[in-house]
């Protein structure tokens, strides 16, 4: 795994696991690899993965069955989406608005393009639209 | 687990290679022992494993000095030297002869590490390449399951895929009861594996800290904009831009860049070490 320099590695690994959960590599209720297996997979120190799993547990994305291993929470996908939605509104949207503003792009144009995008990807990513 | 107290060592009279070292090695860590060529990394490994003796001061492994070379203690440590000769025997024969010294050796683990390294059970270990030999020995070293494992420049001689396999093997071989001490001057190979950093420089152990604590105290900057290096204790120009390190004032955590940390500490020892007092 190639890491970025800007964010701590344990959070990058947690993000990767979130992507894997959303992508159904680890479906809700299923076991995820052990800390050591995951550490070997991404070639990091196991203590780093301990922190990633702690973070995922705190956010109720995964849970620990004592002595058996870690499992994806039944509601794991929605938890991830909630976290990412908050982050989107707080961090990404202001940057996006800044772009619209400086480039003189109207919200109406964005609305039109977004509707086209939704039509085009309707069947590609069913899972993403069926929430709510 | 291992304790070094006021330990001094010299090869020549009145010329200390290691001067009054004090540090501990505790279970459950992958220690990166960093230092320039000739700084005494290998010597320190030999001292900790009882191959050489301190001139002044002491080393203790669970209260016993390695210089006493007690069999019980020796069965709990393994040293993989930088250079070695392998006997002209098969892998199975090598395991049979050597595993007996290590009560917690696991053949199952050994096979698993061989698997990770894509190794076959050859008939004559002397006739494989240097890189291959190293991979057999790393597999064996990890499979001894000793509480202390010392490796001297283990990635030397390994090709690029082997270095990635090596990281996987270390990740699997690590647990809370054992510590792995790896001396290296190729920090990039092992950066993601190391969670404790030992920096040996100018005859002293300048730093013995967890990467967790280092990230708490120091912020690593990576930027194309020179302005952003504001407040850096150390900075350098690289083909990709600028790298630097400064006191962590935001509380946010950045990945520890071992190369920057090492260069910062040898150019400006006190400014860095004072942050860890």
Contact call for B254 and A40, based on CB within 8 A:
no
Q: Which residues of B touch A40 (CB under 8 A)?
A: 116, 168-169, 171-172
Mean pLDDT (chain B) is 92
Instruction: Name the residue ranges covered by the structural domains of chain A.
Output: 9-72, 78-129
List A residues 1-30 in contact with B (Cβ-Cβ < 8 A): 3, 5-9
> Which residue's entry shows tokens 């069926």?
A130
Tell me the percentage of chain B whose pLDDT exceeds 90: 73
Q: Does A126 touch chain B (CB under 8 A)?
A: no
Nearest residue in chain A measured CA to CA from B243 = A5
Tell me the percentage of chain A whose pLDDT exceeds 90: 80
B178 pLDDT more than 50: yes
Q: Does A47 touch chain B (CB under 8 A)?
A: yes
Q: How confident is the model at residue A107 (pLDDT cuts 50, 70, 90)?
A: very high
B263 pLDDT more than 60: yes
Q: Does B257 touch chain A (CB under 8 A)?
A: yes
Contact call for A46 and B253, based on CB within 8 A:
no
**For B142-209, what is the HEC assignment?**
HHCCCCEEEEECCCCCCCHHHHHHHHHHHHHHCCCCCEEEEEECCHHHHCCCCCEEEEEECCEEEEEE
Contact call for A5 and B195, based on CB within 8 A:
no
Contact call for B257 and A36, based on CB within 8 A:
no
The encoded tokens of residue B264 equal 């910062």
DSSP labels, chain A: -PPPSSS-HHHHHHHHHHHHHHTTSS-TTPBPPPHHHHHHHHT--HHHHHHHHHHHHHTTSEEEETTTEEEE-TTHHHHHHHHHHHHIIIIIHHHHHHHHHHHT--HHHHHHHHHHHHHHHTTT-HHHHS--
Instruction: Give residue A129's pLDDT.
Output: 46
Mean pLDDT of the region A80-101: 94
Q: Point out the least confidently predicted range of A94-108, B169-183, B236-250.
A: B236-250
Q: How confident is the model at residue A123 (pLDDT cuts 50, 70, 90)?
A: low
Q: Are A127 and A80 in contact (CB under 8 A)?
A: no
Instruction: Give residue B85's pLDDT.
Output: 85
Instruction: Give residue A130's pLDDT.
Output: 45
Q: How confident is the model at residue B271 (pLDDT cuts 50, 70, 90)?
A: confident
Q: Does B215 touch chain A (CB under 8 A)?
A: yes
Of the segments B44-48, B155-159, B236-240, which one has the largest average pLDDT value? B44-48
Question: Of the candidates B174, B215, B257, which has its C-beta nearest A46's C-beta?
Answer: B174
Instruction: Give residue B210's pLDDT.
Output: 94
- pLDDT tens, position by position, B71-122: 999 999 999 999 888 889 999 999 999 999 999 999 999 999 999 999 998 8
Disruptive mutation site among A45, A50, A52, A91 for chain B (greatest number of B CBs within 10 Å) = A45
Q: Does B112 touch chain A (CB under 8 A)?
A: no
Q: Is the ipTM of this complex over 0.90?
A: no
- pLDDT tens, position by position, B32-58: 999 999 999 999 999 999 999 999 999
Instruction: Name the residue ranges covered by the structural domains of chain B.
Output: 2-201, 212-276
Q: How far apart are CA B170 and CA B208, in angstroms?
A: 20
Disruptive mutation site among B242, B255, B261 for chain A (greatest number of A CBs within 10 Å) = B255
Mean pLDDT of the region B220-249: 89
Superfamily of structural domain B2-201: P-loop containing nucleotide triphosphate hydrolases (3.40.50.300)
Mean pLDDT of the region B163-185: 94
Instruction: Give residue B270's pLDDT.
Output: 84
Mean pLDDT of the region B146-151: 97
A124 pLDDT more than 80: no
Instruction: Give residue B273's pLDDT.
Output: 82
Contact call for B171 and A47, based on CB within 8 A:
no
Mean pLDDT of the region B239-255: 89
List B residues 1-30 in contact with A (Cβ-Cβ < 8 A): 28, 30
B237 pLDDT more than 60: yes
Q: How confident is the model at residue A109 (pLDDT cuts 50, 70, 90)?
A: very high
Residue with the larger pLDDT of the pair A39 and B268: A39
Tell me the percentage of chain B whose pLDDT exceeds 70: 100
Q: Does A39 touch chain B (CB under 8 A)?
A: yes
**Fold for the domain defined by A9-72:** Arc Repressor Mutant, subunit A (1.10.10)
A126 pLDDT more than 60: no
Contact call for A39 and B171, based on CB within 8 A:
yes
Q: Does A44 touch chain B (CB under 8 A)?
A: yes
User: Chains A, B: CB contacts under 8 A, how many?
Assistant: 55
Question: Of the candidates B192, B254, B257, which has its C-beta nearest A44's C-beta?
Answer: B192
Q: Which residues of B touch A39 (CB under 8 A)?
A: 171-172, 174
Q: Are A72 and A28 in contact (CB under 8 A)?
A: yes
């Amino acid at each position: 795994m190639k890491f970025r320099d800007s964010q701590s590695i344990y959070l990058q690994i947690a993000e990767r696991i979130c992507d894997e959960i959303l992508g159904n590599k680890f479906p809700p209720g299923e076991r995820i690899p052990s800390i050591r297996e995951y550490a070997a997979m991404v070639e990091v120190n196991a203590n780093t993965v301990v922190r990633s799993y702690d973070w995922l547990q705190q956010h109720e994305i995964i849970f620990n069955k004592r002595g058996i291993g870690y499992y994806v929470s039944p509601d794991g996908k929605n938890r991830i989406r909630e976290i990412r939605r908050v982050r989107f509104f707080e961090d990404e949207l202001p940057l996006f608005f800044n772009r619209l503003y400086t480039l003189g792009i109207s919200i109406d144009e964005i609305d039109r393009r977004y509707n086209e995008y939704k039509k085009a990807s309707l069947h590609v990513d069913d899972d993403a639209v069926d929430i709510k | 687990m291992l304790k070094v107290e006021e330990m001094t060592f010299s090869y020549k009279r009145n010329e200390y290679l290691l001067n009054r070292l004090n540090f501990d090695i505790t279970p459950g860590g992958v220690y990166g022992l960093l230092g320039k060529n000739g700084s005494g990394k290998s010597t320190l490994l030999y001292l900790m494993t009882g191959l050489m003796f301190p001139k002044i001061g002491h080393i203790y492994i669970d209260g016993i000095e390695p210089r006493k070379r007690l069999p019980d203690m020796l069965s709990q440590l393994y040293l993989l030297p930088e250079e070695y000769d392998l006997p002209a025997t098969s892998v199975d024969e090598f395991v049979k002869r050597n595993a007996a010294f290590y009560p917690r050796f696991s053949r199952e683990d050994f096979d698993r590490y061989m698997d990770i390294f894509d190794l076959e059970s050859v008939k004559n270990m002397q006739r494989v390449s240097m890189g291959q030999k190293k991979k057999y020995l790393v597999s064996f070293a990890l499979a001894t399951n000793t509480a202390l494992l010392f490796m001297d420049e283990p990635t030397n001689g390994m090709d690029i895929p082997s270095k990635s396999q090596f990281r996987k093997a270390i990740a699997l071989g690590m647990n809370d009861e054992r510590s792995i001490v790896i001396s290296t001057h190729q920090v990039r190979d092992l950066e993601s594996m190391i969670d404790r950093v030992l920096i040996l420089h100018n005859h002293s152990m300048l730093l013995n800290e967890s990467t967790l604590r280092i990230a708490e105290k120091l912020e690593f900057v990576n930027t194309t904009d020179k302005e952003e290096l504001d407040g850096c204790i150390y900075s350098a120009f690289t083909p990709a831009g600028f790298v630097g390190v400064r006191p962590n004032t935001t509380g946010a955590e950045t990945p520890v860049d071992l190369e920057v940390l090492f260069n910062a500490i040898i150019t400006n020892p006190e400014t860095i070490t004072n942050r860890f007092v």
